[in-house]
Amino acid sequence: MNNVLETRNWRYATKKFDPNKIVSQGDLDTLLEATRLSASSYGLQPYKIFVVSDLELKKKLRPVSWNQSQVEDASHLIIFVNERNFGEELIDEYIEKVEEIRGVPEAQLKTYSDFMKSKLMDLPQHSKNNWTARQVCIALGNLMQAAAELKIDTCPMEGFEVEKYNQILGLNDNLSVSVVLPIGYRSQEDETQHYPKVRKTKEELFTYI
């Protein structure tokens, strides 16, 4: 089996982490860079990412995470925070980066800038929120696969009280926690690591046209 499939078969949603095993700074840096390099619509990356290792903060977050032990026992919590709303500044800042990094004059980027604004600016606020949350999912998937390649365990979680997370993290009204990803190393006591994967068959899932 090639490495692409091996790592996907190896990973599972870890239910119990070993609190004594810590992800090294080098591996953490690799994971975060892989996440930074993730694709997003138009390349805009309309989110922020919190990296939590402080035990006291993790203990504070556990009760508002349905008391799931992963929040406290994992080496780190990677918390994805999406922008609930945005204006033209999201695109303007991106265009400035393109100009700076690629050396493209701003005048040559105006058509692309106007195009993005025409597609995004008129969306209602709830649609903007949904769109930015979907961008988070792309980055989340990249982080999870990068972790599997390094044999680092993960458990994507949406089981938490969003507004209480927002309050504990001191987020402003335009930011909201979208998904939480504990990372670390599985406990040998976690029986779920031995369960066979349950997935749809190829025939059920794929339609060839």
Beta bridge partners of 177: 81
The residue segments making up the domain with residue 41 are: 3-87+124-205
Please report whether residue 166 resides in a domain.
Answer: yes
- Domain count across the chain: 1
Is-contact 146 30, C-beta < 8 A? yes
- Whole-Å CA distances, 158 to 16, 23, 193: 17, 22, 20
Q: Provide the percentage of residues in the chain whose pLDDT is more than 90.
A: 99
- What pLDDT score was predicted for residue 49? 98
CATH of the domain at 67: 3.40.109.10
Q: Provide the percentage of residues in the chain whose pLDDT is more than 70.
A: 100
Is-contact 46 82, C-beta < 8 A? yes
pLDDT digits (tens, 9 = 90+) for 169-205: 999 999 999 999 999 999 999 999 999 999 999 999 9
C-alpha span between 183 and 22 (Å, rounded)? 9
pTM to 2 decimals?
0.95
The amino acid at 4: V
- Secondary structure of 117-159 as H, E, C letters: HHHHCCCCHHHHHHHHHHHHHHHHHHHHHHHHHCCCEECCECC
Q: Which of 193, 196, 167, 166 is nearest to 178 (CA)?
A: 166
- What pLDDT score was predicted for residue 114? 98
Please report whether residue 41 resides in a domain.
Answer: yes
- Helices (DSSP H) in 150-190: which residue ranges? 162-169
Please report whether residue 115 resides in a domain.
Answer: no
Average pLDDT of 101-120? 96
**pLDDT mean across residues, the chain:** 97
Please report whether residue 143 resides in a domain.
Answer: yes
Please report whether residue 164 resides in a domain.
Answer: yes
Res 16 pLDDT > 60 = yes
Please report whether residue 175 resides in a domain.
Answer: yes
- What pLDDT score was predicted for residue 2? 83
Q: Which phi and psi angles does 140 have, rounded to 5°?
A: -60, -45
- What pLDDT score was predicted for residue 1? 55
Q: Which of 11, 34, 7 is nearest to 143 (CA)?
A: 34
pLDDT digits (tens, 9 = 90+) for 19-44: 999 999 999 999 999 999 999 999 99
pLDDT digits (tens, 9 = 90+) for 70-80: 999 999 999 99
Residue 148 neighbours by CB under 8 Å, 6+ apart? 7, 8, 10, 11, 154
Please report whether residue 102 resides in a domain.
Answer: no
Please report whether residue 176 resides in a domain.
Answer: yes
Bridging pattern class, strands 47-52 and 153-154: unpaired
pLDDT digits (tens, 9 = 90+) for 112-160: 999 999 999 999 999 999 999 999 999 999 999 999 999 999 999 999 9
Buried b (16+ CB within 10 A) or exposed e, 41-60: eeebbbbebbebeeeebbee
Is-contact 83 90, C-beta < 8 A? yes
